[in-house]
Structure 1
Amino acid sequence: MSELPAVPSVVLRREALAEGWDDDELARAVRSGELTRLRRGAYVDAVLPAEPAARHALLVEATLAGLRRPCVVSHQSAAVLLGLPLWDVPLDRVHVTRSPGAWSDRSRVLRCHVARIRDDEVVDVAGVPVTGPVRTMLDLARSLPHEAAVVALDAALHQGRLSHDTLRARLCDIVGSPGSRSAARVVAAADGRSESVGESRSRVILQRWQLVPSALQFEVRSGNGALVARTDFAWEDARLVGEFDGRVKYGRLLGVGQEPGDAVFAEKRREDAVRDERWDVVRWVWAELAAPHRLAAKVRRAHERASRRLT
């Protein structure tokens, strides 16, 4: 069994100087690859992780070590430490929240928010105070663009890290605060049945263009009730199902010893079986999410064709 990669250790300049290093030695260590610069005054004793969330966790550690006033890690930084997935969320700054009386601040590596946080909204992550999943998601719903916020909230709901009922109840606590209307819109749009970023983004686009599916993770069944396929979206009035096709999805379909082509062929047979039950199928890919109007037009045409077939 292969070993998990070691987590790099953060090396702070001030601590290195206190131990007898000097700036020339630190510079030589960086040039030789012994150290890698994380940010000004902070290094790691290995190559930086490729995963943005892992790099951000190191940035959080290095930044907190330099803060003199107490704070709670919040927003996207809290999501990273809690292991909650993010999409299209900037991770260049560490986000913290301090109680009223402090002042908001923004630097090259730090974003300090000022807000009240209840004791029951804070959890401990390896000795670091962090906003819990519900508060973190509401903060993101208030501050992120709608699509990115829905993706994050979908993932948290899908993982069972929080419930829709709790989110709706907690919305009452932030009524009138900045971003509260945006948060309410995100909570209303979120759905834990989405199983990927692509499905979440697709649903946001479909909602925006008034093409809301009647069902998610819809089961197509044969005349005798046998399961034929489970599809991402369905418009039952037109007997139309929709599928977002991403590479990750095909990776999940691979069996032992199968090649990607095998999964694609199996998916083609699955679509044929769905059509045999008199359901039409519309598919789209990542590139089409970047042109929402074209995706909307494609789904609308498919819906109209399927509807005409039923008349």
Structure 2
Amino acid sequence: MSAVDIGEMSAAQRHLVLTGAVAAGSSSAAVVSHVSAAVVHGLPVWSIPLARAHLTRNRRTGARTGGRVMMHAASIESDEVVQIGDLRVTTVARTIVDLARTVPFEQAVVVGDAALRLGRTSRAELAEQLVRANGWPGCPAARRVVDFLDGRAESPGESRSRVVLRTAGLPVPELQPTVLDIDGGFVARVDFLFPTLGVIGEFDGMVKYRSNFRHGSPESTVIAEKLREDALRALGWAVVRWTWPDLDTPDHLLTRLTRAAAFAHRTPRSGTWHPADHECPVPTHRRPK
């Protein structure tokens, strides 16, 4: 593979190449784990370092860190390993719990939400994995992550938004509810809805605009978004939108949410809304993220 090819790869793709090379040169007893396993499983790994491939050996001691590898030493049961191509990899449930024990809360939530959304693991599997990890370093942190996970978050940006909103102490929002007009007609399916605040929150990722532009002009996309938002406001909802930079420094976003709630309390609402049918919905009438 040429240097040009490597340069055109995403960070995750480059890490996958690194992981394959490191695993091939390691003991056959080593299992791809942690962030490397998440990459192999195709899960998003926002803001988790990818400079080293992570592997785990089924033993109590012998963990080491090298220039290209971080070798973990921990118990691994046979049913916690799956074969993906030439690689032996920890299962998604084991991977999520390993990450939740070892990376910051926000990064772990991004991976875990996606795993639930995609149906790659279940709450029952995660609960079982937590039981097995009881007493391991970082297990209390892993429990907090697993308790917070929600497969209705449809993108890393929405998962990060959930963490920001929780940290700010705001009421827990409904995720992906459907808003109806006074006649029961469909108006929109939204990212976040705060029933007690009268506020709807929308995370705007750039993928949404690139996707919509392929199906229409930039002007038609902007107009459609404006009409959708106007319809929500006409029902009495205050609408607040945010993007990736707002999540990095959220003080201004939180101020806007507070002001929107104050306005909404002075505005009568009509129509109704319904929660998502289940935690891992099949998106309908959605704005691509």
Is this a same-fold pair by TM over 0.5? yes
Counting only pairs closer than 5 Å after superposition, residues 112-127 of structure 1 correspond to structure 2 as 112-127=71-86
2:202 match: secondary structure: strand
TM-score if structure 2 supplies the norm length?
0.87
TM-score if structure 1 supplies the norm length?
0.81
Matched, 1:144 2:103: yes
Counting only pairs closer than 5 Å after superposition, residues 4-153 of structure 1 correspond to structure 2 as 8=1, 35-36=2-3, 46-68=5-27, 70-153=29-112
Distance (Å, rounded) in 2 between the aligned partners of 1:141 and 1:263: 38
Identity rate of aligned residues, in percent?
Answer: 43
**1:227, distance to aligned residue in structure 2 (A):** 0.9
Distance (Å, rounded) in 1 between the aligned partners of 2:20 and 2:39: 12
Matched, 1:248 2:207: yes
Distance (Å, rounded) in 2 between the aligned partners of 1:129 and 1:166: 19
Instruction: Give the aligned partner of residue 184 of structure 1.
Output: 143
Instruction: Report the more deviating stretch, 182-191 or 159-168.
Output: 159-168
Distance (Å, rounded) in 2 between the aligned partners of 1:111 and 1:308: 56
1:14-34: per-residue Cα shift (whole Å, max 9, x none)?
A: xxxxxxxxxxxxxxxxxxxxx
1:104-163: per-residue Cα shift (whole Å, max 9, x none)?
A: 100111101110011001000112211011101111111111111101111111111111
1:139-194: per-residue Cα shift (whole Å, max 9, x none)?
A: 11111111111011111111111112321232222122101111111111111101
**1:278, distance to aligned residue in structure 2 (A):** 1.7
Matched, 1:163 2:131: no
**1:251, distance to aligned residue in structure 2 (A):** 3.0
Indicate conservation of the 8 Å contact 1:217/1:232, yes or no. Answer: yes
Distance (Å, rounded) in 1 between the aligned partners of 2:53 and 2:6: 20
2:136 match: secondary structure: coil
Report the residue type matching 1:296 in the other structure.
Answer: L
Distance (Å, rounded) in 2 between the aligned partners of 1:76 and 1:110: 12
**1:310, distance to aligned residue in structure 2 (A):** 4.7
Indicate conservation of the 8 Å contact 2:194/2:200, yes or no. Answer: yes
Instruction: Give the aligned partner of residue 205 of structure 1.
Output: 164
Instruction: Identify which of structures 1 and 2 has the higher relative contact order when contacts are C-alpha pairs closer than 8 Å and 6+ apart.
Output: 2
Instruction: Give the aligned partner of residue 153 of structure 2.
Output: 194
Evaluate the alpha carbon distance shift between residue 88 and residue 223 of structure 1 in structure 2; reply closer, same or farther with a 3 A threshold. Answer: same
Gaps of 5+ in 1: 1-7, 9-34, 37-44
Indicate conservation of the 8 Å contact 1:150/1:190, yes or no. Answer: yes
Indicate conservation of the 8 Å contact 2:59/2:73, yes or no. Answer: yes
Instruction: Give the aligned partner of residue 20 of structure 1.
Output: none
2:190 match: secondary structure: strand
Q: CA RMSD in A?
A: 1.9
Indicate conservation of the 8 Å contact 2:236/2:268, yes or no. Answer: no
Gaps of 5+ in 2: 270-289
Instruction: Give the aligned partner of residue 175 of structure 1.
Output: 134
Match of 1:302 among 252, 255, 260: 260
Instruction: Give the aligned partner of residue 268 of structure 1.
Output: 226
Report the residue type matching 2:232 in the other structure.
Answer: V
Match of 2:113 among 146, 151, 154: 154
In the alignment of these two chains, the number of paired residues is: 269
